Amino acid sequence: MKLGLVVVYLVSEGNEGLLDLHLERIALHTRMPYTIYAAAERLRPDLRERLAARREVRVCALAPTAMRESAEHAHYLERLSEVALDDRASHVAMLHVDSFPVRDGWDEALAASLTPERPFAAAVRDLAVDDKPFTACLFSSAEFLRRWRPRLLLSDAERRSAAYRRYRRRHPHHPDSGVGFGLLAFRHGLDWVRLERSNRGEGHGHFGAIHGDLLFHLGAASWQRKDFPVRREPTAALALRRRLAAVGRRLLPRPVRDPLKAAVGALAPALDIERKYDGNEIAFNAVRDRLLADPESYLRYLREGDG
């Protein structure tokens, strides 16, 4: 067996330590012979040199793309997967620069869990609101990839299809990278191994997740604005809109009321969103700093809790 690890390396300022930790933990816990196929098109030159110096890493020359965010990430992961398959990998695993294994033989355990009817395993962020494969860890057999050629994102036609409407009703999710694997499995009656959040210790509801007691994912390390699919709950914006609507119905004539309603509807969510982004950035920094200060202790805490 041979494992092809495919990773898009984009490291923002302040997160440089994650690159070394990611590489070290892969080396520590992986048992199958492996190569890391790396996309580093927009990686800082000194970090690119550090990456290329690793014997297990192959920095791949890929055609650049003008796409950004999820589309760019998916594009490079798919190109890297093709390189790994051409290099005769028996299995391909997608990881992020802020995700890595936490248990010896994680790769062998995932390979052993796959069958023709269950040909891939993937991290899941939240079964209630984001029940789809997620590329923080997406581990597939080469046979599955060669036969089905799954895409990470959906085409416009797929998004409009009746099959996708049925899939989304059955499996609520955010349609970012990985959804293409989920829809393909749904349409063809295939199952997949869900690596659910298994934390016993918590740093934050979104950051610092352990998946299936096999993988760690810090979360959103390369995102400029850190947002996540969440359960729909009352917000300050919603409360404000309801209060103003009640007052407006009593005191204002319709020609005044309708434009005001539209303005509040546009402004109030924006205020809530900015507050959420700021809070998520603070939480991310706290979890990242604790991880980098003492990885062994913090990962043990996340996996085992205080007991």
Report domain extents, the chain.
3-224, 225-307
Residues of the chain with pLDDT under 50: 231-239, 267-268, 270-274
pTM: predicted TM-score of the whole model, two decimal places? 0.83
Sign of CA pseudo-dihedral 121, 230, 299, 222: positive
> What's the rounded Cα separation, in Å, for the pair 60 and 68?
19
Q: Give me the pLDDT at residue 282, please.
A: 86
Q: What is the pLDDT of residue 186?
A: 98
pLDDT (tens digit, 9 = 90+) per residue, 144-182? Answer: 999 999 999 999 999 999 999 999 999 999 999 999 999
Q: Which of 3.90.550, 1.10.405, 1.20.1300, 3.40.630 would CATH assign to domain 3-224?
A: 3.90.550
Residues 29-58: tens digit of each pLDDT? 999 999 999 999 999 999 999 999 999 999
Q: Can you tell me the distance from the alpha carbon of 245 to that of 172, in angstroms, rounded to the nearest whole number? A: 31
**What's at 228, amino acid-wise?**
F
CB of 138 closer than 8 Å to CB of 124: no
